[in-house]
Amino acid sequence: MIKFNFVSSPLFLFLILLISCNEEKVNDEKFLIAISKATPVEKYQTYISWLQRADSTIEWVDLYSLGLDSARLVIENCDGLLLTGGEDIYPGLYGKMIDTALCDEPNRYRDSLEYTALETALLNQIPVMGICRGMQMINVYFGGTLYFDLPVMIGEETRHRYPGYKPAFHEVNITDNANYLNGLEGKTDKVYSNHHQGVELLATSLQPEAFSPDSLIEAISYADTTGKPFLLGVQWHPEKMDHTIPLSDEVAKLFIRCAKRKDMSRK
């Protein structure tokens, strides 16, 4: 018989956190956000700080340290899901195995984890926010495809990343029919960009919320939001931008507000 050390497991530790958070919600209205990958913390601290600037009372849990079944349980009891940036998505997930040489080494576990996390969140009507890779995963999940390498496939009219994984800054234009980003564009519309892949074919159930000057899709949401939870993906990195820029912290506040509304609807 296989023995499982439940007391020392990440799931057990999460359940203790969950019980604590639920008790605190009664008095302090604290909220729990699941983050697809938040470790090592020193690397992903910008995401955590970005969320906590929007609401200093939130709690968060890292899904990457859990197995898929444990992650499902965690998400079912969270108020929101944040898909963070990172490695290229395995091209087999969107039917393009012809030239993997243009992709970075994939992280197959992370692909499976985030695919499962998205599925679980959507089934449970939990708000979802995707950043960079996170936006790309949303598109792939719904049946869209990605450009393998932007410089090779669409050129460098707009720089989305410089050699050596160095970031770039470029403008974005919010669409007139954007579900969530209308009204967030301020005096500056330049965003922090650090990616070499992007949305090629947008899934039919999604719509663009913003474009870069080279017509690359920079933000996505549901085409029809009726009866659906909050779902927003941005290709830029709002967590690494000046927090006074509307397309940075205002995006986090929007996500947290929707997570709070969802929490209230479950009471």
* Residues in a beta bridge with 162: 166
Please report, for residues 92, 136, 181, 202, the alpha-carbon distance to residue 222 in angstroms, rounded to integers and kept in the order given: 24, 14, 13, 11
Q: Please identify which residue in the block is written with the tokens 């996505």.
A: 220
Show the beta-strand stretches assigned E in 46-150.
59-62, 80-83, 128-131, 146-147
Catalytic residue among 103, 237, 250, 258: 237
Three-state DSSP state, 220: strand
> Tokens for 244?
């006074």
CA atoms within 13 A on the CB side of 8: 3
Catalytic residue among 59, 218, 239, 250: 239
Nearest C-alpha neighbor of 143 from the set 195, 77, 220: 220
Please indicate whether residue 160 is annotated as part of the active site.
Answer: no
Active-site choice (78, 103, 132, 258): 132
Q: Please indicate whether residue 132 is annotated as part of the active site.
A: yes
Distances from the Cα of 162 to the Cα of 145, 194, 240, 245, angstroms: 23, 8, 16, 23
Place of tokens 């650090």: 194
Mind telling me the catalytic residues? 132, 237, 239
